[in-house]
Amino acid sequence: MTVIRGATTIAEDTPDEIRAAVKELLEQIESRNALKRDEVVSIVFSSTSDIHSFYPAKAAREAGFESCSLFSAQEPDIEGGLKFCIRVMLFVEKNETPRHVYLRGARVLRKDVAQTFCVAIDGPAGSGKSTIAKLLARDYNILYLDTGAMYRACALACLRAGADVSDEAKVCDVLRSTSPDVVYRDGVQHTMLGGEDVSDAIRAPEVSMAASTVSKHISVRMKMVEKQREIASKMSCVLDGRDIGTFVLPDADFKFFLTAAPEVRAKRRADELAAKGYEVDLDALLKEIVARDEQDAAREIAPLKKADDAVLVDTSSMTIEEVLKTIKSKIQEKI
C-alpha cells in the first residue's frame, strides 16, 4: 500500500470551484502516478476552515471515484497558514514511489516537488491578454502583473505635467518626480502615481497612444522591466504585455502570444471603454489600435513580437472560456 499526497487551492468557497479544483487535482495525481481507479482504496481530504469541508468528497464521487471510501475533514486554523486550501491523501494498492502533486497556490507548501512558475502572455491591444491573464491568476491562485499599466502610469504623469511624451529626457524628469508604481491589495494590482491610485485614470483613451510612445524610450523601459523582473522573481505569477516572453522573462515557464483580427480587437476595446462610460468612435479606435500596434512592433528596444517558443493563439472567433481552456490545457501538459 502506498500513500500519494496532494493539495490545491481555490479562489472562493463555492461548490463549482471545489468541484473543478478537486477534479483537476485527482486527474493530475492519476496521470502522474499512472493510477487506475480500482487501485484507489480510499481518499482522505482535509480542507482549511474557510471551505465547506463536505464538498471535496462529494466532488470526488462526482468525478467518478465510485467504489473507494471517501473522507472529508476540516482542519483547525493555523496562523499564517494557506487559505482556501484542500489537501488530499490517496491510499492506493501500488508499490511504486509516489509522485505527490501540489497545484495552484498549494505549490508553496512543497518547494521540493513544486517550484514557482511564471506565465508570459504577450500580444497586441485587444487580443484578450488581460482578461485571460486575470482568469489564469484567479484559477491558479497566483499574482497577475499588468505591465501595460506601468507604461500607462508614466504616460498619464507626462500628460498631466504637459511633458512631450516623445522627449526621453522630459519623460525621465517626470518619472523621477512622480515615481509610478504598482502595489497589491488583496491580490489586486493598483497602479499608483505619487500617493494617488490611478488604476482607473490610466484607462482613458488618450493615455493609450501616449503609453505606446513613452514605452519606446530605453531608460523608461529599463526602469519598468527591473520592477517587473523583481516581482516575478519572488512568486508564481502571470504577466501580460508586449515583451514578456522575449525580453522581460525569456525563461518564463509558459509563453503565449495572443492575437486577433484588428476589427475584432477594436470592437472589444470599444465595448470595454463604453462600459466605463467613454464615448467611442469605432473607426477612430480601429485606426488608433493599428497605429499603436505598428509603433509597438517597430520600436528598436523589445518590440511587440512573438517569442519563438511561445504558443500562438488566435482569439478572433474564440470565446473567453475557449481561450482559457486552450491555455490551461497547454500549461497542464507541462506541469
Helix or strand run (H / E) with residue 153: helix 147-161
| Site of interaction with ligand DC (CB under 6 A) | 125, 147-148, 151-152, 208, 211-212, 215, 241-243, 292, 296
Measured from the CB of residue 186, what is the shortest distance to ligand DC in angstroms? 22
CB of 152 to ligand DC, least distance (A): 5
User: Least separation, in Å, of the C-beta of 145 and ligand DC?
Assistant: 10
Nearer to ligand DC, 30 or 243 (CB): 243
Q: How far is the CB of 2 from ligand DC (least distance, A)?
A: 46
Q: How far is the CB of 61 from ligand DC (least distance, A)?
A: 43
Nearer to ligand DC, 105 or 241 (CB): 241
Question: Measured between alpha carbons, how far is 92 from 216 in angstroms, rounded to an integer?
Answer: 57
| Closer residue to ligand DC, CB minimum distance, 92 or 163 | 163
What is the distance between the alpha carbons of residues 20 and 81, in angstroms, rounded to a whole number?
A: 22
Instruction: Reduce the DSSP state of residue 30 to 3 states and report it.
Output: helix
Strand partners, 188: 185
**Smallest Cα–Cα separation from 84: which of 40, 127, 47?**
47
Alpha carbon distances (Å) from 146 to 149, 176, 243, 285, 327 = 6, 21, 12, 21, 18
Nearer to ligand DC, 82 or 204 (CB): 204
- Residue nearer to ligand DC on the CB measure, 56 or 148: 148
Spell out a b/e string for 198-216, using b for 16 or more CB atoms within 10 Å of the CB, else e.
bbebbbbbebbebbbbbbb
